[in-house]
Structure 1
Amino acid sequence: MHPSKVELRVLGTSVTLQEHLRKRAEQDLGIKLRFIVDDGSSVQREGVMHPDRYELYDQWFHSIECLWPAHALQPIDVARIRRWDEVNTLARTGHTGRNLSNGVGCVPADRLFVQTDGSLARKPSKRISMLPLTHNADSFVYLEDAMPPSLLAGEESWAWLLAPELAGRVALQADAAIGAIDAALAVQACGLIRFEDIGNLSIEEIDALIATLIDFKRRGHFAGFWSSFAEAAQLMIAGKVVIQSIWSPATVELERAGLRFRLARPREGYRAWFGGIGISRLAHGRMLDASYEYLNWWLEGWAGATMARQGFYISNPERSREHMSDAEWAYWYDGREAPKDLPGPTRKHLVPAGQMRDGGNYVSRMSRVAVWDSVMDEHNYLVRRWTEFMRS
């Protein structure tokens, strides 16, 4: 094999398809990588319809609900994943080790193992649908100085996204599958609607949710909607919003801009996601071999360490620990105070000395999952209604 002649096409979002990662992987593996970056919905659609246009699909586990029935991906042989035994219990079983029920929605462990009939389930086998890698517990961010004392006096809650005191200064995620769950958490926290399963809304529940959101939007409650973490950061940096749902890399930009903000630890729990990489069903021969090498590279430690520096976890964290200072590990994984200024993924200074990560350590954050990102049974209907909301 002449790896220098191999070019892998990786389809995904800006969450993990970042230039410094691409350069390091090319250097370490001796192959070429072409990152095909788009928003979540477009990546999902392209992944389903055109497995001929990529070798690797790098996105969220809930995308499996679309890609697996379409036979876009091939099963991954865990015997070819060198660090497979290091992958932690959250990815394999859905629990952090505390034996807690860990959220509703598309629990990644339920879609991990390929069964003999080709279906996916939690029962261990020698083949998996995607390699579980990056993950996090998401919530919302707010500017402390702009919050009414009446809200700050209480416990942080998703209901804050719909607080009348903050009308005109709120932003939501634009992607239907994720934004709708954030919105549903807020609507339910306000006591406006009670959902039977917030990770899998019925048609009637979707209609009720959208009607509620359209009402808020027509009253000018929302100042914006974002599709990428860069857009989210810019909304806040530009002073257009004081509270919004957020992805961790956006907080890197908020730090850089010198904003005083808090990442909420909502009393209702977090909305969590698990990212992974799948292999196109059309990848074979040298391209397939190179694909496995790239998957293995992700579990070797360096990638997990650089992901940690933007607030993401990796599925085999102990391997990444070797590539992080004790101070970095204490802050990102143990939830302790930063003893000194800590670097970001590509910059010398990101976290100032004395800061603590909101939400605590890895286990306490990932044990408080209210719902996992999901593709609902009525996903197509949700997307149509969400589009109506966005256009209203």
Structure 2
Amino acid sequence: MHSGKVELRVLGTTVTLQEHLRKRAEQDLGIKLRFIVDDGFAVQRQGVMHPESYELYDQWFHSIDCLWPARALQPIETARIRRWDEINSLPRTGRLARHACASAGSVPVDRLFVQADGSLARKPTARLSMLPLTHNADSFVYLEDAVPPALVAQGESWAWLLAPEMAGRAALQADAAIGAIDAALAVEASGLMQFADIGNLTIEEIDGLIATLIEFKRRGHFAGFWSSFAEAAQLMIAGKVAIQSIWSPATVELERAGLRFRLASPKEGYRAWFGGMSLSRVAHGRVLDAAYDYLNWWLEGWAGASMARQGFYIANPERSRDYLDPAEWAYWYDGKPASAELPGPTSKHLVAAGQQRDGGSYVARMGHIAVWDSVMDEHNYLVRRWNEFMRA
């Protein structure tokens, strides 16, 4: 049976399961890669219910809260990760440079290390629940000429998503786990409610949040909801929406369409996410070896550089430096104005010369987090109530 290429099945979303990455990894590793792509919620569900359908689970640290208790995964041995020592302090300690990053939401380090009893905690061990890879600080995007000067004068705030001036032209992310946090940030910034822990709402808080959102929806405040970054871009390009929560790759499409927009650096802080890969509990033998090869491939620099070109960071950024032009590094990681026209992940042109990254440098952006994406204690209740809001 040892003839033929090993096939690896990777379950995940469009965030990292991209065709140019698949082709390059196949070529570099001499394996066959099958990407199983779906939206965040569907991927999480398949990850929990059908570990036999994939070898690698490629998603976010907050998903670990569903997959680990379901025993869908096996630990990753750090001894088999060549560049483990290069991974920076953010996922390992929850700190970056001198910044202690937010403690709200599903903080990556709190669910990173597998303890002797099989539980997950921040105490370092030689086994991981997920290999930390891509991450970013998300906020919202708005068309520059659509926001009235009175709002601009108050400074960028999550409250803008619910501002009466933006009625009928706002959109939110449709995924309950992420959309609800964006909405909670907006509700709190607008002074409509206060939450004890914005990354872990109580039943009463969820009820209050949903009641508030339904009221806005009935008044026609929301022009749409999106599940993928392509849908988000389309809402804005089609002129339906002037302000919306966003994922970085959608801004690539907005650039291409020639829109004049800004990615906000909200004064309250960003909503951050950390992605990575986990091993299915059923992976073993040659397939498991190939899975480790693929995990290692992600930390070799090329993939990290490709992620940088769409606005994402990688856990061992220094290794990507060799694959990025100095002008690219200065723009994406140092927050400096582009000294030349910069390429996208698969295109010759993405960033115009002179442009500057909204929010500044890596440390400035990832050091200003309000909350991490999370799976709340009342996640099932939140999803139920969120679906009522979607149907209202």
Cα distance in structure 1, aligned partners of 2:100 and 2:188: 22
State the match for 2:300 in structure 1. 300
State the match for 1:48 in structure 2. 48
Would the aligned equivalents of 1:170 and 1:244 in 2 still touch at CA under 8 Å? Answer: yes
Would the aligned equivalents of 1:94 and 1:107 in 2 still touch at CA under 8 Å? Answer: yes
State the match for 1:186 in structure 2. 186
Would the aligned equivalents of 1:110 and 1:121 in 2 still touch at CA under 8 Å? Answer: yes
Cα distance in structure 1, aligned partners of 2:66 and 2:102: 23
Name the amino acid aligned to 1:234: Q
Q: Deviation per CA, 1:191-230, whole angstroms, max 9, x where unpaired?
A: 0000000000000000000000000000000000000000
Measured after TM superposition, the shift of residue 97 of structure 1 is: 2.1
Measured after TM superposition, the shift of residue 101 of structure 1 is: 4.4
Task: Report the more deviating stretch, 297-306 or 149-158.
Answer: 149-158
Name the amino acid aligned to 2:158: W
Cα distance in structure 1, aligned partners of 2:84 and 2:101: 24
Cα distance in structure 1, aligned partners of 2:3 and 2:260: 47
Cα distance in structure 2, aligned partners of 1:232 and 1:99: 31
1:1-392 equivalent positions in 2, closer than 5 A = 4-392=4-392
Would the aligned equivalents of 2:101 and 2:366 in 1 still touch at CA under 8 Å? Answer: no
Would the aligned equivalents of 1:3 and 1:30 in 2 still touch at CA under 8 Å? Answer: no
What's the TM-score once normalised by structure 1's chain length?
0.99
Would the aligned equivalents of 2:113 and 2:121 in 1 still touch at CA under 8 Å? Answer: yes
Measured after TM superposition, the shift of residue 4 of structure 1 is: 4.8
Cα distance in structure 2, aligned partners of 1:105 and 1:326: 35
Tell me which stretches of 4 or more aligned residues in structure 1 moved more than 6 Å.
none
Name the amino acid aligned to 2:71: H
Would the aligned equivalents of 2:105 and 2:199 in 1 still touch at CA under 8 Å? Answer: yes
Cα distance in structure 1, aligned partners of 2:41 and 2:99: 33
What's the TM-score once normalised by structure 2's chain length?
0.99
Q: Deviation per CA, 1:229-260, whole angstroms, max 9, x where unpaired?
A: 00000000000000000000000000000000
Would the aligned equivalents of 1:3 and 1:290 in 2 still touch at CA under 8 Å? Answer: no
Q: Deviation per CA, 1:177-196, whole angstroms, max 9, x where unpaired?
A: 00000000000000000000
Measured after TM superposition, the shift of residue 64 of structure 1 is: 0.2
- Unmatched tracts of structure 1, length 5 or more: none
Name the amino acid aligned to 2:234: Q
Would the aligned equivalents of 1:4 and 1:31 in 2 still touch at CA under 8 Å? Answer: no
- Unmatched tracts of structure 2, length 5 or more: none
Name the amino acid aligned to 2:52: D
SS for the counterpart of 1:57 is strand
Number of residue pairs aligned between Structure 1 and Structure 2: 392
SS for the counterpart of 1:181 is helix
Name the amino acid aligned to 2:78: V
Would the aligned equivalents of 1:143 and 1:262 in 2 still touch at CA under 8 Å? Answer: yes
Would the aligned equivalents of 1:4 and 1:30 in 2 still touch at CA under 8 Å? Answer: no
Measured after TM superposition, the shift of residue 3 of structure 1 is: 8.2
Cα distance in structure 2, aligned partners of 1:5 and 1:270: 43
Cα distance in structure 2, aligned partners of 1:4 and 1:121: 40
Name the amino acid aligned to 2:310: Q
Would the aligned equivalents of 1:3 and 1:31 in 2 still touch at CA under 8 Å? Answer: no
Cα distance in structure 1, aligned partners of 2:100 and 2:234: 37
Task: Compute the RMSD of aligned alpha carbons.
Answer: 0.9
Cα distance in structure 2, aligned partners of 1:27 and 1:391: 45
Cα distance in structure 1, aligned partners of 2:248 and 2:99: 26
SS for the counterpart of 1:274 is strand
The percent identity for this pair of structures is 80
Name the amino acid aligned to 1:244: Q
Task: Report the more deviating stretch, 3-12 or 112-121.
Answer: 3-12
Cα distance in structure 1, aligned partners of 2:165 and 2:2: 62
Measured after TM superposition, the shift of residue 315 of structure 1 is: 0.1
Cα distance in structure 1, aligned partners of 2:19 and 2:388: 35
SS for the counterpart of 1:104 is coil
Name the amino acid aligned to 1:178: I
Q: Deviation per CA, 1:241-281, whole angstroms, max 9, x where unpaired?
A: 00000000000000000000000000000000000000000
Measured after TM superposition, the shift of residue 5 of structure 1 is: 1.7
Would the aligned equivalents of 2:99 and 2:367 in 1 still touch at CA under 8 Å? Answer: no
